[in-house]
Amino acid sequence: MDASVSQRLSNLSKRQLLDALNAVTGNNKCTEHANTILKEFLDALPVVRGSSRPTVDSTEQPGKEAGKDEPQEAPGAFSLSKYRTRQIAMQVQYDGSAYLGFASQDLEETVENHLFNALLKLKLIEDRKTCQYSRCGRTDKGVSALGQVISVNVRSALPRDLPEEALVVLRNPTGKYEITEPAAVNSTSSAGNSTAEQADNSGKEPPRKKSKKNATSDTPAGPKTKIITEMDYVTMLNRTLPDDIRILGWCEVTEEFSARFSASDRKYRYFFPRKTLNIAAMQQAATYLLGNHDFRNLCKMDIANVTNFRRDIYSAEIKKFEPNRYEDLYSIVHGTSNSDTYSSSTTDVVDEPDTMYMLEIKGIAFLWHMVRCIMAVLFMVGEGLEQPEVVKRLLDIEHCIGKPPYTLANEFPLVLHECGFDNLRIPRQPRHLWQLTAHYERILEGHLVSAARVRNSLELVKKSVVGKEEVAEFVEVLVEKETFSAKRAGYQNATFQQRAGLPITAAATSAATTTPVTASSNTSSSSDNGTGEEVVWKDVLERVKCDWNLQPIEKYIPHVPLMQRRQEDSYELKVALLAGGKKERLERHVELSATAATTGATPLFFQKMRQQGSL
């Protein structure tokens, strides 16, 4: 700082210095004398490169900050217009037990809401309306999915000026493209001149030269190679989504691709333990589902939104779930097949009651609760409560014009296993498979531990011992309850009568006296009161289940044959009784369906849509 300026500042009074300070902050109008001295002081300050000196405006009004009246630029909102975008399809897996379904429902806890929140948080989409979103299936509350497919237009990391050949290479999620940037021109000399000019203008000596170690060379740098890759959508989204929602893979698709209309089929799996179910009878009943049928009696009718209940079922099979029956890694890598070694080892195994089976059903589309209704009827067939032909009767809407009421099968075992497309292949990447394997193994370990704890409790109960006389009394009451409930329901349980074949008292006594005595002296659950021998509860269970076809259930509900139940109103009568908003929705739906049948939703339209898919 110049000595004269410093001397003049030291001669100022406290009031004059405050006036000068207020001039800088804009709090008050300073005196002309203080303003002049302050300007000299500020001019004498050293200037840091890239910054500017504060200025003092003597005409500034008291209480008004500099630039206050000028409109200030608000930070720009995110806009996809600045980036390249691409239409992609993603495969989504989720455990639906904690959600109210897949599709968005305002602020409800749905899978789709979490997907949109993750896409918005990562700035992959701008909003829901403009992202060209579509989904293949719409699962209900509690239903899970392994092969759900969605399509969405997302932000891309690819530069806008890439050549066409680069875009072709980068269609693959793992694609890489190298570009060569031109050589950079060194601007050391020009920078040095500008620095010298600044030093001359400020009256200061030029800065010292940098050492040779840090000095930049005047030799132009050579061309640089840059590798272009796409964002890792899978990892990004899986880090943002809840633990029970996972992205399995993605691929780029054509702009006209629709996850809904481009799908060729949808496959569901429903898992259940074998127990004492008649698997052969269930499979026979499932064969009646094949083909094109009206499934109004095997679904929950959404009258206001659905007018056509005919659906095509391509396959329906009851089969054992064998997750470990796959070829070893060596055969996969080297293209050899060792399937013969697996087929012999799995067919000779005797099924246990907890052996897992599944219904695997595939069709073009499914109605509301359709698979759960089908499983409810198949369970009745497997338990011997209905004949397999009951499925055929329910599909005959001329004779069965109304749906007989029955309880839906549980939603938890139902999984949307696969969505089929004629022209879509979503590749897998090893790093994602590694992450997903660790993720699912951790979840499986938790379920296995929970299952072991339940089995431990069940084994304790089965090892308990009870007296023979108590068993005889219990079995007699159990059989009486079965017979009374059947008579009250107005029918006879043929299976029970055929297997029992004896009067109630005699049957109960026979079960108690012929049960082998295998009591354990180590158990603490003994009920020996000196009145007779004891039997193990596990042996009693086996006799009751086999001889009387009775299962231990918490609440007994008598079964009435489906065809003897009072049927619900027919579809036509339900439509005639519609009123208010539901009637208006139905009328709009009928109008839109008629318009689509003549303009859009024609066979040519669906044929064109099925051709859409991976690029």
Residues belonging to the active site: 140
Query: Is residue 535 helix, strand or coil?
Result: strand
Query: In the 8-state DSSP scheme, what is residue 270?
Result: E
Give me the count of residues in the chain: 615
At 169, the amino acid letter reads V
CA triplet 363, 288, 565: central angle to 5 degrees? 110
Strands (E), 508-561: 534-536
Strand partners, 420: 265
CA dist., res. 241 & res. 115, Å (int): 7
Backbone φ and ψ for 197, nearest 5 degrees, come out as: -65, -40
Characterize the bridge pairing of strands 263-273 and 356-363. antiparallel
Determine the 3-state secondary structure of 146 from DSSP.
Answer: strand
Please state whether beta strands 144-155 and 414-421 pair in parallel, antiparallel, or not at all (unpaired): parallel
> Using CA atoms, how far apart are residues 389 and 277, in angstroms rounded to an integer?
17
Residues 6+ apart with CB under 8 A from 573: none
What three-state secondary structure class fits 543?
Answer: helix
**Angstrom distance (rounded) from CA 609 to CA 615:** 14
Closest CA to 319 of 364, 374, 274, 350: 274
Q: Tokens representing 540?
A: 């009693």
Cα first-last separation, the chain = 69
Vertex 437 angle, CA 436 and 442, to 5°: 100
Give the angle subtended at the CA of 416 by the CAs of 411 and 421, to the nearest 5°: 160
Helix, strand and coil percent figures for the chain, each rounded to 5? 40, 15, 45
